[in-house]
């Protein structure tokens, strides 16, 4: 990694990703020539402990966090965390150009137009996006909102686990930060078109479309790795654990028209195929909305490629299927390929290449404090 690419801030920091099925913790350390992964741990969480991003059982979640900390031998109690779920909203809004203090007051009144719950029950933040050369009169603002109840449920669980929360981020942005900092091809210049970043977690898929460094669109859809598992369980009449094992050991997204032999293999392929088709439909709708609505059909800003991450995206054949269905170059982001992995961590990870995509959110969180 080229020297001088990063602007160093903290010596090391911990990112905590509380997902639908697992906790992922990573600690990154700044090095003169890049970033090193010095600690990592994954821990399963109790079923039903988190629903639509809200932690329903903070006590059991705190226990799981402590187990992850012990397994990874984490010493630092300061973390950056993320929230996700259908209640997390990212919207673009336009305002007349005005001073920041006036904009803060305006957002209090205007935010209700963009979030589906009372603004009094929300935690709000916003950022002003760079103005185009042709629009010097107006302002484009990116509004971020999350239900206060959802955010507080995470804060309670982390406090019970003995952690100090330095910052709470929005999950889709953490993925983009990891890609921007660690992937040689993760971001493109604005004139090269836009990139769709798709992070497939256990319960949801985050879709972020960015043009250069500017986020233009975000969407969270309720399809993830667990959706594939449930479809297999329903189709084959087996339990969730058995279905998860079948998905990992024999699951594959087949191309349209590809022959699959054996009745059980066909049933497995059909269950996986139905979910993959639904996922691609959501990705295509997001890209079409961006290309036709947000960009106004302007030439050169349409989505030119797709980058995948997340544990749910490692399903065999999924990346190739998405690329063929969308007609766009599609690649899997492997964050650990551009990070030095401490040998102690590598020895604990059974397959570094397979685990890497699952750690993207945690890595993006830690990068927030380790690099500028």
3-state per-residue secondary structure call for 212-227? CCEEEEEEEECCCHHH
Residues 171 and 39 in one domain: yes
Residues 215 and 312 in one domain: yes
3-state secondary structure of 295: coil
DSSP 293: I
Residues 295 and 317 in one domain: yes
Residues 153 and 213 in one domain: no
pTM of the model: 0.83
Q: Is residue 135 part of a domain?
A: no
Residues 41 and 180 in one domain: yes
Highest mean pLDDT among 17-31, 107-121, 144-158, 332-346: 144-158
pLDDT, mean of residues 331-358 = 80
How many independent structural domains does the chain possess? 2
Instruction: Determine contact, residues 81/169, Cβ cutoff 8 Å.
Output: yes
3-state secondary structure of 209: strand
CA 106, CA 201: separation in Å to the nearest integer?
A: 35
pLDDT, mean of residues 119-125 = 91
Q: What's the pLDDT score for residue 219?
A: 86
Q: What is the CATH number of the domain that holds 294?
A: 3.30.420.40
Q: Is residue 93 part of a domain?
A: no
Surface-to-core class of residue 1, CB atoms within 10 Å of its CB (0-12 exposed, 13-18 middle, 19+ buried): middle
Kind and range of the H or E run holding 311: none
Q: From the centroid of its chain, how far is CA 150?
A: 17
In angstroms, the first-to-last Cα distance of the chain is 16
Q: Between 297 and 215, where is the model more confident?
A: 215
Q: What is the b/e burial string over 10-47, where b = at least 16 CB atoms within 10 angstroms of the residue's CB?
A: bebbbbbbbbbbbbbbbbbbbbeebbbbbbbbbbebee
Dihedral, CA of residue 147, residue 291, residue 207 and residue 270, to nearest 10: 120
Residue 287 predicted with pLDDT over 90: yes
Residues 168 and 270 in one domain: no
Domain range holding 345?
1-85+148-184+335-372
Instruction: Determine contact, residues 92/140, Cβ cutoff 8 Å.
Output: yes
DSSP 130: P
Q: Is residue 200 part of a domain?
A: yes
Q: Is residue 122 part of a domain?
A: no
Q: Is residue 134 part of a domain?
A: no
Residues 326 and 224 in one domain: yes
CA 317, CA 354: separation in Å to the nearest integer?
A: 14
Q: What's the pLDDT score for residue 370?
A: 77
Instruction: Determine contact, residues 294/288, Cβ cutoff 8 Å.
Output: no
Residues 68 and 206 in one domain: no
Q: Between 293 and 342, where is the model more confident?
A: 342
pLDDT, mean of residues 55-73 = 94
CA 133, CA 314: separation in Å to the nearest integer?
A: 41
Residues 198 and 325 in one domain: yes
Q: Is residue 309 part of a domain?
A: yes
Q: What's the pLDDT score for residue 132?
A: 59
3-state secondary structure of 343: helix
Instruction: Determine contact, residues 20/201, Cβ cutoff 8 Å.
Output: yes
Residues 230 and 367 in one domain: no
DSSP 292: I
Pick from 164, 162, 153, 176: which is nearest to 363 by CA?
176
Instruction: Determine contact, residues 24/71, Cβ cutoff 8 Å.
Output: no
Residues 305 and 239 in one domain: yes
pLDDT tens digit sequence for 310-341: 888 999 999 999 999 999 999 988 888 888 88
With cut-offs at 50, 70 and 90, classify the pLDDT of residue 26: very high
Q: Is residue 153 part of a domain?
A: yes
Residue 355 predicted with pLDDT over 60: yes
Instruction: Determine contact, residues 202/247, Cβ cutoff 8 Å.
Output: no
With cut-offs at 50, 70 and 90, classify the pLDDT of residue 306: very high
Q: What's the pLDDT score for residue 324?
A: 95
Dihedral, CA of residue 102, residue 372, residue 13 and residue 334, to nearest 10: 110
Residue 190 predicted with pLDDT over 60: no
Residues 350 and 316 in one domain: no
Q: Is residue 96 part of a domain?
A: no
Helix/strand/coil percentages in the chain, nearest 5? 40, 30, 30
Cβ-Cβ contacts under 8 Å for 265 (sequence gap 6 or more): 250
Q: What's the pLDDT score for residue 3?
A: 36
Query: Helix count (H) and strand count (E) of the chain?
Result: 11, 16
Torsion 61-66-71-72 (CA) sign? positive
CA 17, CA 40: separation in Å to the nearest integer?
A: 11
């Amino acid at each position: 990694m080229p020297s001088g690419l990063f602007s160093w801030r903290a010596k090391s920091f911990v990112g905590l990703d509380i997902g639908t099925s697992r906790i992922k913790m990573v600690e990154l350390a700044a090095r003169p020539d890049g970033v090193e992964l010095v600690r990592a741990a994954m821990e399963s969480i109790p079923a039903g402990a988190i629903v639509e991003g809200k932690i329903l059982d903070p006590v059991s979640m705190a226990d799981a966090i402590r187990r992850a900390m012990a397994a990874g031998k984490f010493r630092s109690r300061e973390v950056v965390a993320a929230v996700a779920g259908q209640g997390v909203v990212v919207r673009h809004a336009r305002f007349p150009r005005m001073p920041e203090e006036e904009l803060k007051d305006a957002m209090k009144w205007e935010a209700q137009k963009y979030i589906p719950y009372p603004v009094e029950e929300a935690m709000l933040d916003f950022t002003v996006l760079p103005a185009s050369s042709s629009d010097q009169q107006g302002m484009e603002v990116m509004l971020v909102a999350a239900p206060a109840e959802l955010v507080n449920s995470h804060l309670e669980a982390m406090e019970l686990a003995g952690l100090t929360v330095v910052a709470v981020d929005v999950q889709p942005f953490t993925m983009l930060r990891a890609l921007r900092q660690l992937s040689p091809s993760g971001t493109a210049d604005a004139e090269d078109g836009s990139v769709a970043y798709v992070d497939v977690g256990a319960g949801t898929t985050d879709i972020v479309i960015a043009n250069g460094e500017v986020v233009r669109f975000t969407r969270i859809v309720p399809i993830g790795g667990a959706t594939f598992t449930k479809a297999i369980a329903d189709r084959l009449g087996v339990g969730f654990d058995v279905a998860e094992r079948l998905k990992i050991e024999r699951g594959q997204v087949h191309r349209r028209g590809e022959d699959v032999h054996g009745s059980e293999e066909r049933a497995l392929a059909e269950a996986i195929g139905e979910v993959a088709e639904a996922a691609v439909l959501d990705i295509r709708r997001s890209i079409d909305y961006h290309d036709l609505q947000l960009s106004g059909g302007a030439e050169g800003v349409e989505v030119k490629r797709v980058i995948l991450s997340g544990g749910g995206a490692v399903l065999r054949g999924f990346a190739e299927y998405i690329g063929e269905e969308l007609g766009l170059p599609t690649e899997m982001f492997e964050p650990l390929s551009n990070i030095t992995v401490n040998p102690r961590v590598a020895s604990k990870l059974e397959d570094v290449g397979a685990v890497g995509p699952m750690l993207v959110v945690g890595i993006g969180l830690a990068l927030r404090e380790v690099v500028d």
